[in-house]
Amino acid sequence: LVKKNGKAAAPSAAKPKTIEDYLKQMAPAMQEALPKHLSVDRMLRLAMTTIRTTPELRQAEPASLLGAVMQAAQLGLEPGLMGHCYLLPFKNNKKGITEVQFIIGYKGMIDLARRSGHIQSIYAHAVYENDEFEYELGLEPKLVHKPSMEADRGEFVGAYAVAHFKDGGYQFEFMPKSEIERRKGRSKAANSKYSPWHTDYEEMAKMTVVRHMWKYLPISVEI
């Protein structure tokens, strides 16, 4: 230490922790949160791969990034290219910082629904203008969809989701493109260049209608 006026000068500030250090420090808490089918090592690898492929995540406020990773861990969803969930950076202009939004993808929503134990099968499909599609509500709801076999199925019209329950019942929902676009507009990270709305629009459209149907499904409070 360099002495000044007979007193030892304070040591230089420690180098800030890296994202890797923060994640490793969070590993014990993550281990407790993760469901049995997913290991903490795998979650850490997936998180780091996502951060490497999305450079803006390194510039994000650490607490926001770690919170998003922990949300993925608590739900047992894998961030990244599989489409279970996404960690998206967005500018918070009011605070002057970059924050991270956690978004559940279509496959993640389906996975969570299946884990409830009450659903036999659940799926969603996109509808295009050249498809044969019938949709009715009322006393005798009806949904018929025959996708066009042509290479060009036309413009995207909307998406629907169907859930078959183990007790024999079922639930279905259809959402037109206009409503999907309205809900997309409420997403803080929809305009991010990394948003799956740009790279996987159909998947996000299906996720949107599954999420809307969520309130009608027999899914536990924990899920």
Query: What does the pLDDT average to over 168-179?
Result: 93
pLDDT for res 223: 52
User: Mind listing the pLDDT tens digit for each residue in 111-124?
Assistant: 888 887 788 899 99
Amino acid, res. 87: L
Q: CA dist 173 to 61, 154, 190, Å?
A: 38, 22, 23
Closest to 121 measured CA to CA, from 166, 62, 183, 180: 166
Is pLDDT of 131 > 60? yes
For tokens 């949300």, what's the residue?
Answer: 71
Is pLDDT of 143 > 70? yes
CA 195 to chain centre: 10
User: Mind listing the pLDDT tens digit for each residue in 46-58?
Assistant: 999 998 888 889 8
pLDDT for res 151: 87
Is pLDDT of 186 > 90? no
pLDDT for res 10: 52
Average of per-residue pLDDT values in the chain: 86
Q: How confident is the model at residue 221 (pLDDT cuts 50, 70, 90)?
A: very low
CA dihedral 19, 186, 213, 88 (to 10 degrees): -20
Instruction: Measure the CA–CA gap between 205 and 208, rounded to whole angstroms.
Output: 5
pLDDT for res 203: 92
Query: What does the pLDDT average to over 83-97?
Result: 86
Query: What does the pLDDT average to over 127-133?
Result: 97
CA 203 to chain centre: 11
Is pLDDT of 80 > 90? no
**DSSP-assigned letter for residue 13:** P
